[in-house]
Structure 1
Amino acid sequence: MRGATHFSYNQLLDGLAFMGNDYGKFIEIFNEQMKKVYNINTSRTYFDCTNFYFEIDKEDNFRRKGPSKENRKDPIVSLGLLLDANQIPIGMKLFPGNESEKPVLRDVIQALKKKNQISGKTIHVADKGLNCTQNIAFSKENGDGYLFSKSVKTLPEKEKIWVLLNNEDWKEIKNDNGTLLYRYKSCIDKFPYHIEIDGKKKTIYFTEKRVVTYNPKLASKKRYEISKQVEKARSLCYSQAKRAEYGDLGKYVNFTNENGEKAKATINEDIIEKELELAGYNLLITSETNMKSTDIYNTYHNLWRIEESFRIMKSDLDARPVFLQKENSIKGHFLICYLAVLLERIFQFKILNNKYSTQEIMKFVKSFKIVKGESKYINVTTSSKFIKDFEQMTKLPLTNYYLTERQVKQIFRYKI
């Protein structure tokens, strides 16, 4: 790092604790500055949750054992993220990992919207099914909405028939070359949800739009995965493996004559056939009945940016595992990760107009390196299309092998 400031590890922890103690204020400061320089679109906002694990055995008041995204048994901290219509972060909330997203989620959304003075509709996003009926009801009552996907395999038989039959209802979306991207069909109807009120089970109905899609690329990928799993299951059958050794592959196997540790195993061809038949299908469920089916599809598939924001924190920014103990230091750590994601998103969408992927940008940020030689600096960065394009945009000597002191200062002083 050029011109790095030297400080002790204890000073770093003190700084993190100071920022973490009031992390919401720092986010508010950045949001206010964002409004001055760029447009924050809060006509529609998006929300989702994730969690981060800590490789410790003992819990405390903040790091608690709960439902981990990685199915780990370590204590975790949960993080809720609020994003604007362009999926740029505008709010973050940290809460103990043992608190289920189901009841906490409603309070988190309300707190974040109030904190950031947001009155627009918030769409709660979930990858495979919304957390619970109460959250769906809350979204409707609060004037918000939801958008989530649901596995076609878990649908009632009546809905599966709708998915697989009535071929004349399908509409196709192709690219400029005439290649099929996906096909879809949709319906609007009232669908039942089961809820418990005052200890009594009750069925309520919500009017929803449901869009079923078929993606040939996804179908090919899924069929390949199924065939690989079936192949493994067959090999276990041939080797007369114990039932416990099958794990998740057991869904493709029939077990009979269990008189001891071993059981006679045969491949369940019916299950395999049904899974292959449903490969490539996906069901999108939303409260936004007035949205076009193509807009629902595009919106949902753009929402990978929320998950990608979490992935950037967890992978590119090494947000986990967290080697911190004090609650405020942990909060400060995640605030830094949040701000890094925010700056990356601004750079990606406001400066580069979403022409480049996050992977390309993060690779440039992490790999751009120069080494000081005897008289000049040597640029040891691996060339890429992004660096060449960015050089054209900024007129900076980013692809030069030799760099002078003046050129290096020019690079570091450049303002976007």
Structure 2
Amino acid sequence: MINPNSYRVIWVYLGKHEIERLSAQSGLFISESDTIVEQVISFMSNASIRTVGPELIFGKIYDSIGFGTLQEDLFCHLVIARLAFPLSKLKTIEYLYRFQGIMLNLDTVYRFLDKLNSKQKERVEQIAFAHTLKVLHENISIVFYDMTTLYFEASDEDDLRKTGFSKDGKHQNPQIYIGLLVGLGGYAIGYDIFEGNIYEGLTLIPFIEKISEKFKLNRPIVVADAGLLSNDNIKALEQKGYEYIIGARLKNEPDNIKKQILEPQFSEGQIISINKAGRTRLIVSHATNRAVKDEHNRIRGLQRLEKRVKAGKLTKSNINNKGYNKYFRLQGDVTIGIDYEKFNRDKVWDGIKGYATNTKLTDKQVIENYKNLWQIEQAFRMSKTDLRIRPIYHRLRHRSTYLHIIYRLLYLQRNGKDTL
């Protein structure tokens, strides 16, 4: 606890530059978390920060990756400060001033971000890819792709920011899609930005093709979540000579396939393989711990539905296949109820997970490779929590180049795990 009797009042003269710096920042939004971090920083001495500080530790990693060749000190400072203390830009500026002796104002940072362009993005990706290639011993035979949304607090749309399906539950806010491609170990290969109202399944093939052409990749195996690969996407990948591993939507399979899946009495860890048209095969596994989790989630989802039904505010529009809404049914002309029979029938799927592939890998290899998809999902979770890249307050389209910093942050933190 802070002792109020320990404070002293110190009168100081602020020079012209200092007054301008403070006045430029006075109207900015400050989050509660920023205030907490500021208190932590206040108890740290200059000596401790500079002796084992972020610039010393992450600066070496930053240079070892190759980012130092860009010769942009401001960019380096912003990346490392954001990584060490995920603050608003206001607090980043304060941190740099107090502990690094770097004097900036917010307008300087915005002007710098405004100057970043596609050439800068290309250069950052080239450096990151060269390092990834080195770490993976020149072997990028499998890649992992995923997407997420980042919403803007600004209410106006433009040709990039669009309202669309939000993974953050912010359907009223304009957003953008971010696609990220990584190799084994979670090492980033490339990223891209898409309009916020695009169907995410339409992004995969153009993105993979562009990255493959840029970095001369020899058609690596593509691993992605089921939501990113429609039947049309799968056909397009096959036509272009790509192999893939995706999460299968087993309940959407034809009845004869579902019968083959559900007929065997699964034992713990058992795997079955079902051949489909062409080279495609379904691999199905069962895990007891997954069954427990699936049942828990279903029951929790049902309880939420029951609360909504009890509230009496549901309409026919709520009857759809989104999540647990699939258990709603129409009773009479206007009453919405719950289809408990359908809910109970779904119990047979608890613990069952499916994968679709056209590779020649063994069943176990397919499953193990798909499990690596968590690394890219972890990168997105980390960026949205540890690095706090949402919500985005930038109001100009070209300020989305702020994501250049985030991309370097993700890459720097991933390499920091191996170095520290």
TM-aligned CA deviation for residue 213 of structure 1: 1.4
Contact persistence 2:221–2:245 (CA under 8 A): no
- What CA distance in whole angstroms lies between the structure 2 residues aligned with 1:275 and 1:297? 23
Shift of the 336–143 alpha-carbon distance from structure 1 to 2, 3 Å rule, reads same
- What CA distance in whole angstroms lies between the structure 2 residues aligned with 1:244 and 1:329? 41
Shift of the 58–40 alpha-carbon distance from structure 1 to 2, 3 Å rule, reads farther
Report the equivalent of 1:339: 408
> Alignment partner for residue 135 of structure 1, among 224, 233, 236?
233
Contact persistence 1:130–1:136 (CA under 8 A): no
Shift of the 207–244 alpha-carbon distance from structure 1 to 2, 3 Å rule, reads same
SS at structure 2 position matched to 1:159: helix
Deviates more, 1:243-252 or 1:46-55: 243-252
- TM-score normalised by L of structure 2: 0.67
Report the equivalent of 1:325: 395
SS at structure 1 position matched to 2:181: strand
TM-aligned CA deviation for residue 130 of structure 1: 4.2
TM-aligned CA deviation for residue 29 of structure 1: 2.6
Match status 1:272 vs 2:343: yes
- What CA distance in whole angstroms lies between the structure 2 residues aligned with 1:5 and 1:25? 26
Report the equivalent of 1:307: 377
Contact persistence 2:286–2:351 (CA under 8 A): yes
> Alignment partner for residue 287 of structure 1, among 358, 366, 390?
358
Structure ranking higher on relative contact order (CA contacts 8 Å, 6+ apart) = 2
TM-aligned CA deviation for residue 280 of structure 1: 1.2
Deviates more, 1:302-311 or 1:37-46: 37-46
- TM-score normalised by L of structure 1: 0.68
Contact persistence 1:42–1:120 (CA under 8 A): no
How do 1:227-266 and structure 2 match up within 5 A? 227-231=299-303, 233=305, 241=312, 243-244=314-315, 251-252=326-327, 255-258=330-333, 263=335, 265=337
- What CA distance in whole angstroms lies between the structure 2 residues aligned with 1:77 and 1:252? 31
Report the equivalent of 1:147: 245
Shift of the 325–279 alpha-carbon distance from structure 1 to 2, 3 Å rule, reads same
Shift of the 268–92 alpha-carbon distance from structure 1 to 2, 3 Å rule, reads closer
Match status 1:10 vs 2:107: yes
SS at structure 1 position matched to 2:279: strand
Q: Deviations over 1:180-238 (max 9, x none)?
A: 5x322112231xxxxxxxxxxxxxxx42121111121111112122233444555677x
- What CA distance in whole angstroms lies between the structure 1 residues aligned with 2:340 and 2:194? 46
Shift of the 76–129 alpha-carbon distance from structure 1 to 2, 3 Å rule, reads closer
Contact persistence 1:91–1:116 (CA under 8 A): no
Report the equivalent of 1:212: 284
Shift of the 315–20 alpha-carbon distance from structure 1 to 2, 3 Å rule, reads farther
TM-aligned CA deviation for residue 33 of structure 1: 4.7
- What CA distance in whole angstroms lies between the structure 2 residues aligned with 1:145 and 1:34? 21
- What CA distance in whole angstroms lies between the structure 1 residues aligned with 2:313 and 2:134? 64
> Alignment partner for residue 189 of structure 1, among 276, 292, 305?
276
Contact persistence 1:184–1:211 (CA under 8 A): yes
Contact persistence 1:40–1:84 (CA under 8 A): no
- What CA distance in whole angstroms lies between the structure 2 residues aligned with 1:98 and 1:236? 28
- What CA distance in whole angstroms lies between the structure 2 residues aligned with 1:208 and 1:38? 28
- Which structure has the highest helix share of the two? 2
- What CA distance in whole angstroms lies between the structure 1 residues aligned with 2:122 and 2:367? 33
- What CA distance in whole angstroms lies between the structure 1 residues aligned with 2:399 and 2:146? 23
TM-aligned CA deviation for residue 68 of structure 1: 2.9
Shift of the 276–236 alpha-carbon distance from structure 1 to 2, 3 Å rule, reads same
- What CA distance in whole angstroms lies between the structure 1 residues aligned with 2:204 and 2:146? 9
Q: Deviations over 1:148-203 (max 9, x none)?
A: 21333333222221111134xx5x6xxxxxxx5x322112231xxxxxxxxxxxxx
Shift of the 66–122 alpha-carbon distance from structure 1 to 2, 3 Å rule, reads farther
Shift of the 75–42 alpha-carbon distance from structure 1 to 2, 3 Å rule, reads same
Consecutive unaligned residues of structure 2, counting only runs of 5 or more, are 1-94
Shift of the 85–275 alpha-carbon distance from structure 1 to 2, 3 Å rule, reads same
- What CA distance in whole angstroms lies between the structure 1 residues aligned with 2:392 and 2:159? 16
- What CA distance in whole angstroms lies between the structure 1 residues aligned with 2:302 and 2:198? 38
TM-aligned CA deviation for residue 305 of structure 1: 0.9
- What CA distance in whole angstroms lies between the structure 1 residues aligned with 2:146 and 2:308? 39
- What CA distance in whole angstroms lies between the structure 1 residues aligned with 2:252 and 2:276? 19
Q: 1:276 corresponds to which letter in structure 2?
A: K
- Which structure has the highest strand share of the two? 1
- What CA distance in whole angstroms lies between the structure 1 residues aligned with 2:218 and 2:383? 28
Deviates more, 1:29-38 or 1:91-100: 29-38
> Alignment partner for residue 210 of structure 2, among 111, 117, 127?
111
Shift of the 327–251 alpha-carbon distance from structure 1 to 2, 3 Å rule, reads closer
Aligned pair count? 317
SS at structure 2 position matched to 1:316: coil
SS at structure 2 position matched to 1:207: coil
- What CA distance in whole angstroms lies between the structure 2 residues aligned with 1:134 and 1:229? 31
Query: Percent identity at matched positions?
Result: 21
